[in-house]
Structure 1
Amino acid sequence: MLLAIILVTLIVLIMLRVPVAFSILGTGFLGLVLLGGLGHALPILETAPATAVRNSSLSAISLFMLMAQFMLMSGLLDSLFDAARSLVGRIPGGTGVASVGAGTAFAAVSGSSTAAAATLAQTSTKRMLSEGYQQTVASGLVASVGTLAAMIPPSIILVFYAITAEASVGDVLVAGFFPGLLIAIAMVATMYVGMAFQKGAVPAGQRSTWAEKWKSLWHASPLLFIFVAVVGSIFLGIATPTEAAALGALVALILVVARGRFTTQKFLVAVAETVKSTAMILAIVMAAHVLGHFLTETRTAPKLVQAIEDSAMPALLVMVLIAAFYVLLGFFMDQVAIIALTVPIVLPVVEELGYDAVWFGIFMILLAEVGMITPPMGLNVFVVSKSSGIPAVVVFRGAFPYVVVMLLMAMVFLLWPGLVMWVPNLMG
């Protein structure tokens, strides 16, 4: 009964738009007080938050955020779309395919879904509209492709999940690479299916000369250094994820200077944005540890595992119910809050069913990312709408087919977990 009261209070606070960290901290503290009194709750409040942020792996999150800010400063991200378009622009729907390719490449050097959506909206969406693409096609595709940044390493969300789940950060990071590529391919296929039912929705491609191809690829080629520095060093075991994040941030800063884009003002803005984002995440981490003490003392996870064992439900059915739960949460909460709140409770159940913690990270983040392009939150949709001037309702409508394909890909990963674990297994 006490657990139900605390969870309902938490949901109400979040729906009232109370900042997530304060909602979690307040309900966790209230639960501890009701469970053992103020004398029991205060010592936990004094020690748990500080203990929570002593994990050195958390520094990787800040460094990846700083790297993303430097990439935005460098201006190289604008070259991604031109490079992709020069390669595939000649085929029908080539600019749309180029948008997916640019979004995938952006994901491999940024790790931020909203940053990916905003950048692509300013480049590929406007280019597609000028070439005659329908608004639903141009905006919905870009908003959806932005979600790949949470899947393809280096991903801030994947690092946060690995730390919360106490899984290998390196394994979780590289595990998102192959599934991310499969989702990108599925998005391209979805766009072409839409073309088949809407004649004229996507115009014919435009050719590029070999000189134009080489020029655009040369301009975008420095991004390869970022990818090799981060993902390559982790995959080969040369660096830890935190060291790789630091190396990536350093290489990104060097590219900013080399391209003549460095100014003191821009540098301070990048650092300030990194600090603000880091503070938000660390606040949620500290609050989640207080709530975690309450959940541990109420034995929530063991009781949930026992209840599922007693129900004798098939493992696949339980996982489908868990998947529906995460999709629902994604409608109202951001991914960091979802991970902090649910992973300590749900992961023991998933592991009891025989699934791997690394696999589950990719699975649940894919499901939670659906909320980035669905109402009422739909953060990527609103970012694209603001950047492109297209009404949000049009973007939501254009993104719907990609919501369907993301859910279908989640089911594919559920039925064939080896697709997710292929790259981590290559690492040994």
Structure 2
Amino acid sequence: MAALTGIFLLFALMIVGAPIAIALLVSGGGGLYLVGGSQLLVGIISTTPMGSVQNYEFATVPMFILMANFIIASGVGDDMFRVAKVWMGRVPGGLAHATALTGAAFGAISGSSTAAAATLSATSIPGMLRQGYDVHLATGVVAISGTLAMLIPPSVAMIIYALLAEMSVGKMLIAGVVPGIIVVLTIIATVSFLVWRNPEHAPSGESYSILEKIKVLRSTWSFIVLFAMVTGVIYTGVATPTEASAFGSFGALILALVRKTPPKKLLQAFRHTVIASCMIGFIVVSALIFGYFLTMSQVTQGIINAVVGSGISPWSVIIFLVVMYIVLGFFMDIIAILILTIPLVHPLIVQLGFDPVWFAVITIVVCEMGMVTPPLGMNVFVISKATGIPVGTVFRGSFPHVIAHLIAVAILLAFPGLVMWLPNTMG
């Protein structure tokens, strides 16, 4: 009875529009009170906040957010797009391909999907539209390329997943590299198909000489340095994810200073980091309290026993969970999805004998689609606000990429080694 009451209260609060952190805190606290009375409730609430944010690896969250804000303030996204644009040259759909590559590069040094979408909106959409690109093609590739920051390290979504599931943050981050490359290739293949079908939607771009292509590579030094300071040191074992996040944020600050970023923008970066970090910290604390409630009320174990004892094949459960995440992505933000499902799904995946890191990556890739699907695709609204292009137009442009993403998910499901190879070779 206590379990049903707590879960019902959670969904009731979400339906009336309560913030996810408040909904989790109230429902989890109420459920704990019904399970063990005021003593249990007070004991957990008094220890969880300090215990969760004191976690050594939690420091990666504000550090990577700060890194992303410094990168945005420095305007390095313009350089990355220019490099990709020059190298794509007169390739059919070259600017769209350049956008996908820029999204991957920006994701590799930022970790923020909405920040990537906003940056790409400012750098690539105007250029594509001026060159005569179809608005659906232009906005669709920007929307989906922005989601790469959720998968390619350093990814805040990956870190939150690891913290909630008590998994290795370093292994989680590195596991996103190869799937990230696969998704980038999927986006490029989708653009190539769309351009092949309607060549007039992507007029040929400017041609560049080999010398010009080599010269423009000088702009990539900042990306290479930051990538090495974060993903490189994590993979080789030179530094922990927490230390790498500190290196990355410091490197991004130096980059911003070298590029003579105005002090006002740097102060805004600090301010935005504090606000975002506090919000995420509050959500994580509330999620842990709700997770304690699920554990104390035996909800998690009951679901695991029911699934294992039902005789359903493990792969049928995996397919069901993938479909569930696709549906949840239509209506919820990725952070809310992870917080609500990880306490239940992670133990189930472990019990069924699957690698939890592999399934975590699958989950993130599936949730990427939620960022570009109606009615609540966050990246779509960011792009619409930044460019003034109607939301419906951006959603229509994103649809072919959603279909292609499903193919990428099927590949990752069929070949788990693509996900686990790199983390299994970490230093």
TM-score greater than 0.5 by the shorter chain: yes
Q: Secondary structure at the match of 1:92?
A: coil
Question: Partner residue of 2:142?
Answer: 142
Q: CA–CA distance in 2 between the matches of 1:358 and 1:26?
A: 30
CA contact (8 A) 2:147 2:371 kept: yes
Q: Distance in 2 between matches of 1:40 and 1:348?
A: 23
Corresponding residue of 2:169: 169
**Which residue is equivalent to 1:17?**
17
- 2:27 is the alignment partner of 1:3: no
Matches within 5 A, 1:94-173: 94-173=94-173
What letter matches 1:100 in structure 2? Answer: A
Q: Where in structure 2 are the equivalents of 1:8-407 lying within 5 Å? A: 8-261=8-261, 263-407=262-406
Q: How far is the alpha carbon of 1:415 from its aligned partner?
A: 1.6
Please state how far the C-alpha of 1:304 moved relative to its aligned partner. 1.2
What CA distance in whole angstroms lies between the structure 1 residues aligned with 2:7 and 2:395? 30
Query: What do residues 42-72 of structure 1 show as CA deviations (whole Å, max 9, x unaligned)?
Result: 3322222222222110001110111111111
> What are structure 1's unaligned runs of at least 5 residues?
none
Give the counterpart letter for 1:172 in structure 2: M
* TM-score normalised by L of structure 1: 0.96
- 1:177 maps to a residue whose letter is V
3-state SS, counterpart of residue 371 of structure 2: helix
Q: Deviations over 1:180-212 (max 9, x none)?
A: 010110111111222233341222232113343
Q: Among all aligned residue pairs of Structure 1 and Structure 2, give the percentage whose two residues are the same amino acid.
A: 41
How far off its partner does 1:332 sit? 2.4
Identify if the C-alpha distance between structure 1 residues 248 and 346 changes in structure 2 by more than 3 Å, giving closer, same or farther.
Answer: same
CA deviation profile, 1:58-101 (whole Å, cap 9, x unmatched)? 00111011111111122211111110010012211111111111
Query: Given that residues 308 and 352 in structure 2 are in contact (C-alpha distance below 8 angstroms), is that contact kept between their aligned partners in structure 1?
Result: no
- Spell out, residue by residue over 1:337-367, the C-alpha distance to the aligned partner (whole angstroms, 9 max, x if none): 2222211211111112221121121111111
Maintained 8 Å contact 1:99/1:124: yes
Amino acid at match of 1:325: M
Q: Deviations over 1:294-323 (max 9, x none)?
A: 101111222111111111111111001111
Shifted more, 269-278 versus 405-414: the winner is: 405-414
Q: Is the 8 A contact 1:94 1:206 kept in 2?
A: no
CA contact (8 A) 1:373 1:381 kept: yes
**Paired letter, 2:186:** A
CA contact (8 A) 2:131 2:205 kept: no
Q: Which deviates the most, 111-120 or 286-295?
A: 286-295
Is the 8 Å Cα contact of residues 134 and 201 (structure 2) preserved in structure 1?
yes
Q: Do the aligned partners of 1:89 and 1:98 also contact (CA within 8 Å) in 2?
A: no
Deviations 1:270-291 (A, max 9, x none): 1110011100110011111211
**Paired letter, 1:142:** V
- Where 1:133 maps in the other structure, the secondary structure is coil
d(CA) in 2 for partners of 1:308, 1:280: 34
1:39 offset after TM fit, Å? 4.0
Per the TM alignment, residue 267 of structure 1 is displaced from its structure 2 partner at its CA by 1.9
Amino acid across the alignment from 1:275: V
Worse overlay, 322-331 or 372-381:
322-331
| 1:415 partnered with 2:414 | yes
**1:215 to partner: Cα distance:** 3.5
Paired amino acid for 2:61: I
CA contact (8 A) 1:91 1:206 kept: no
Q: Distance in 1 between matches of 2:377 and 2:383?
A: 10
Separation (CA, whole Å) in 1 of partners of 2:237 and 2:47? 35
Opposite residue 314 of structure 2, the aligned amino acid is: A
8 Å CA contact 1:169–1:241 kept in 2: the answer is: yes
What are structure 2's unaligned runs of at least 5 residues?
none
CA drift at 1:264: 2.9
Q: Distance in 2 between matches of 1:266 and 1:318?
A: 48
What is the number of residues matched between the two proteins?
427
CA RMSD of aligned residues (A): 1.5
Contact kept, 8 Å, 2:70 with 2:252, in 1: the verdict is: yes
SS at match of 1:360: helix
Mapped contact 1:144–1:399 kept (Cα < 8 A): yes
1:362 corresponds to which letter in structure 2? V
Note the C-alpha offset of 1:34.
2.4
Q: Give, in whole Å, the separation in 1 of the partners of 2:168 and 2:298.
A: 25
- Cα distance in 2 for partners of 1:354, 1:206 equals 52
Q: Over residues 12-37 of structure 1, what are the superposed CA-to-partner deviations in whole Å (9 max), with x where a residue is unaligned?
A: 32232211100110111111222233
Normalising by structure 2, we get a TM-score of 0.97
Q: Give the SS at the match of 1:110.
A: coil
Contact 1:327–1:370, Cα closer than 8 Å, also in 2: yes
Task: State the secondary structure of the residue aligned to 1:427.
Answer: coil
Q: 134-143 or 191-200, which moves further after superposition?
A: 191-200
Q: Secondary structure at the match of 1:98?
A: helix
Larger deviation: 100-109 or 30-39? 30-39
Q: Distance in 1 between matches of 2:157 and 2:223?
A: 21
2-structure distance, mates of 1:232, 1:37:
49
- 1:331 partner SS: helix
Q: Please identify, of 265-274 and 190-199, the stretch whose mean Cα deviation from structure 2 is larger.
A: 190-199
- Structure 1 distance, partners of 2:139, 2:15, is 28
3-state SS of paired residue (2:91): coil
Q: CA deviation at 1:2?
A: 3.6
Q: How far apart, CA to CA, are the structure 2 residues paired with 1:148 and 1:400?
A: 16
* Secondary structure of residue in 1 paired with 2:200: coil
